[in-house]
Amino acid sequence: MATNTYDAIVVGSGISGGWAAKELTEKGLKTLMLERGRNIEHIKDYVNANTAPWEFAHRGNATQQMKKDYPVIKRDYVLNETNLDYWVNEHDSPYIEKQRFDWFRGYHVGGRSLMWGRQSYRWHDTDFEANAKDGIAVDWPIRYKDLAPWYSYVERFAGISGNKDGIPILPDGDFMPPMELNVVEKDIAARIKSLYKGSRHMVIGRVANITKPHENRTNCQYRNKCWLGCPFGAYFSTQSSTLPAAMRTGNLTLRPWSIVTRVLYDKDTKLAKGVEVLDAETNKTYEYYAKVIFLNASTINTAAVLMRSANDVWPGGLGSSSGQLGHNIMDHHLNVGAWGQVDGYEDKYTYGRRANGIYIPRYRNLNGEKRDYIRGFGYQGSASRERWSRNIPELSIGAKFKDELSEPGGWSMGIGGFGEVLPYHENRMWLDKTTKDKWGLSVPVIDAVVRDNENKMRIDMMNDAAEMLEATGVKNVNSYNDTAVLGRGIHEMGTARMGRDPKTSVLNEFNQVWDAKNVYVTDGAAMTSAACQNPSLTYMALTARAADHAVSELKKMNI
Amino acid sequence: MNRREALNRVALLVGGSVIGADFFLSGCKSGSSVDTEDLFNQQTQAFLNEVADTILPRTQTPGAKDANVGNFMAVMVRDCYADDDQKVFKKGIKQLEDACDKKFKVGFMEATVEQRTQLLTDLDKEQAAYSKTKEKEAPNHYFTMVKQLTLLGYFTSEIGCTKAQRYLPVPGKYDGNYPYKKGDKAWALA
């Protein structure tokens, strides 16, 4: 059994799992990283990274067969021909939607770090204090000052490009040089600033694409093909960043095809002693042992692992003593915003495809404002010239039509909202007793919806978007507020929240499971509230901080 | 398309939305019952290419027939269209022939370039008017399909990307204030 023993085990290899592996190995721990899916090797396995658009038989579009095979991801832009093999096989790994929940998963080494949107924003004390001030759910056990140095630490290594905008609600970070707003965005940003007297801002997105060479990675080449996998390693992913760092230490063992079925709990020590692994290829079961375990399987699956770790002490699952495990599912609600056309700028165009857009940070319910909902939202979007897909009403078919479409059309500008979802106890998941996946494991049942606060917020999200565009001179503005579906934000969070009290939370201030202190949860499951910023940067910072704590606790023999 | 592009709903497509791209089309039932293989026979291929070439003819740059858009149309209808849309498309080929015969007393393949252009201009007006008022569940117009697929097939083809537009596989930098003068071609990718 000696070969099955490590200092640390990391379950999952996505954004937070990769960070856990890097930090633990660099601090000298022999670490085993378990990934339930196949391996994807950096560059070599990015099979479509250099495929020309015309080489795709359907030019990227989804076929009817794909829609049949992927009944969940077909619900959004996610189902496409170019990176289909990065999305989970839905037939092998089903789940049950008590209410519609769009769960977009990637089961392979790197997880969704390969396909993520890369927008990277710090939180503010407003976000950490929100639950306490509003008297809902539980208070975060940490504040901005606890995380600020760790934000800096992860930004410096991951490589976040951004501008130091000096906007209080959106703290500046340790950035690479920013990408550039285009000429239309610059003018609209200036108008927003003057119209709203500095209370609203439109800035260049802060994105995990490097803008100068960094850590053996080439800077962004402005191809905008990130989600195929980047042969330049220009965006942060496990493969481009944390995995090579962990490998360099000589302390990492990566085991793909390893489904963690449960955490092994020792009643005498009140600690976990390891995990049970089901080999996804051979269906054989193995046990691996370690002094510390990081769960980074992503929000739903991390909670599922804890639930499957039920024993006679904790019949509801490891970490279930508070009754909060699996509850408080959050996401960001979106599919609401506005777009319109911009006159002029006919002598201006863009060169290169910027894998980034604009960001309008939250401005609602700040500085004493009180809307008929709590919390707030931000917007992302961009301005661009229209392409051949535009409508030219005065031209129908023929030579003139074709030559006109071969040139760019007018400018347009669109923004879409990302709104905060509150942590409702009723929004929850559990394991179904009868439905099994391909490997015989109980599948998750998800029962979560947006509620009154989100729906009220969406009215503002739609109207404010249209109002801002119109006020800044955008013409023919159209606004939309589509049905809000949870999961669609691909920011699921909250199933094992952090807190100050073991009676009302699953994790403590350092992401340790209250009921087994050598088990750390540092993915989206840990989130106590959702804020409205894209969450991955916060997962990275929480993970690096927790890894530091774990090593220090090991040295002190506390775990 | 990525999330940012999905957020920016600026594309104003022919007929309003991309046929075949609806998220909850009935086409998710198993196996298509519509036989689309005849779309690939020589005669139909020649016909589809001539129709496409009337929409996007050869100018200073190659036309839709040069890019073999007829084949692309057949592939998309076979693989990406739901059953109902497949039926509409197949029937549309005959409707287009009949419309030509009615108007000019010749088949489309025998019609002159001027006749073809006149016919398709009229059909385009018809589809535009139909799409504007049609209920969401009502069938799509076959000429909306033909026009959409022609534009998509041509402008994403190698010829469309590299000859009709400018193709930059690795731009290497970004300039958000890049000069443009009328006549400069569009970039092939967003």
Contact B170 A405 (CB under 8 A): no
Backbone angles phi, psi at A194, to 5 degrees: -80, -40
B3 is a domain residue: no
What tens digit of pLDDT does each residue of B62-81 get?
999 999 999 999 999 999 99
A392 is a domain residue: yes
% of chain B with per-residue pLDDT over 90:
78
Residue B26: pLDDT band (50, 70, 90) is very low
Same domain, A241 and A321: yes
Residue B15 pLDDT: 61
From A435, A464, A484, the end of a domain falls on A484
Please compute, for residue A272, the number of CA atoms within 13 A of its CA located in the half-sphere on the CB side. Answer: 35
Domain range for A528 is 1-53+104-161+226-327+425-446+492-559
Integer angstrom CA distances of residue A342 from A188, A282, A473, B182: 10, 58, 7, 17
Tokens 């020590």 label which residue? A269
State how far the Cα of A298 lies from the Cα of B145, in Å rounded to an integer: 41
Residue B13: pLDDT band (50, 70, 90) is low
Instruction: Go through chain B and tell me how many residues it has.
Output: 190
Same domain, A299 and A344: no
Beta strand segments in A394-449, E: 411-420, 428-436, 442-447
Same domain, A282 and A357: no
A65 is a domain residue: no
A80 is a domain residue: no
Domain range for B62 is 35-164
Inter-residue contact A322 to A329 (CB < 8 Å): no
Q: What is the DSSP letter of B186?
A: P
Same domain, A197 and A306: no
Backbone angles phi, psi at A416, to 5 degrees: -125, 145
Q: What is the DSSP string of A154-187?
A: HHHHHT-B------TTS---SPBPP----HHHHH
* Whether the predicted pLDDT of B151 surpasses 90: yes
B5 is a domain residue: no
B63 is a domain residue: yes
B170 is a domain residue: no
Residue B1 pLDDT: 62
State how far the Cα of B180 lies from the Cα of A382, in Å rounded to an integer: 19
User: B155 — contact with chain A (CB < 8 Å)?
Assistant: yes
- B55 token code pair: 């929409």
Contacts of A133 (CB under 8 A, 6+ apart): none
Same domain, A285 and A414: no
- A530 token code pair: 């959702």
Residues of B with Cβ-Cβ distance to A397 under 8 angstroms:
54-56, 117, 120-121, 124, 147
Contact B176 A59 (CB under 8 A): no
Same domain, A141 and A254: yes
Residue A1 pLDDT: 45
Local mean pLDDT, 10-residue blocks, chain A (559 residues)? 86 98 98 98 97 96 94 93 96 98 98 98 98 98 98 98 98 98 98 96 98 97 97 98 98 98 96 98 98 98 98 94 98 96 97 97 97 98 94 89 97 96 98 97 98 98 98 96 96 98 98 98 98 98 98 95
A368 is a domain residue: yes
Residue B28: pLDDT band (50, 70, 90) is very low
B30 is a domain residue: no
Residue B24: pLDDT band (50, 70, 90) is very low
Residue B125 pLDDT: 95
From A438, A459, A484, the end of a domain falls on A484
Same domain, A467 and A413: yes
Same domain, A407 and A496: no
Q: What is the mean pLDDT of residues B105-129?
A: 96
* Interface mutation vs chain B, best among A388, A401, A476, A480, most B CBs within 10 Å: A388
State how far the Cα of A381 lies from the Cα of A182, in Å rounded to an integer: 12
Nearest Cα neighbor of A107 from A326, A275, A318, A260 is A260
B179 is a domain residue: no
* Whether the predicted pLDDT of B3 surpasses 90: no
Query: pTM for this structure?
Result: 0.96
- B77 token code pair: 């209808």
Contact B80 A397 (CB under 8 A): no
Same domain, A170 and A290: no
Domain total in chain B: 1
Inter-residue contact A248 to A22 (CB < 8 Å): no
Same domain, A458 and A530: no
Residue A3 pLDDT: 77
A210 is a domain residue: no
Mean pLDDT of chain B: 89
User: For B28, which of A71, A382, A412 is closest by C-beta distance?
Assistant: A71
Residue type, position B74, single letter: A
State how far the Cα of A381 lies from the Cα of A384, in Å rounded to an integer: 10
Least confident of A176-185, B31-40, B112-121: B31-40
Interface A-B, measured as beta-carbon pairs within 8 A, has a size of: 228
Residue A519 pLDDT: 98
Domain total in chain A: 2
Residue B21 pLDDT: 62
Same domain, A237 and A253: yes
Residue B30 pLDDT: 45
Please compute, for residue B34, the number of CA atoms within 13 A of its CA located in the half-sphere on the CB side. Answer: 21
Residues facing A33 on adjacent strands: A10, A254
CA distance A403 to chain B (A): 8
Contact A382 B8 (CB under 8 A): yes
CA distance A74 to chain B (A): 6
State how far the Cα of A79 lies from the Cα of A72, in Å rounded to an integer: 9
Residue A459 pLDDT: 98
Residue A276, domain CATH: 3.50.50.60
State how far the Cα of B181 lies from the Cα of B175, in Å rounded to an integer: 16
How far is it between the farthest Cα atoms of chain A? 82
A550 is a domain residue: yes
Residue B114, number of CB atoms within 10 A of its CB: 9
Contact A183 B176 (CB under 8 A): yes
Contact A186 B12 (CB under 8 A): no
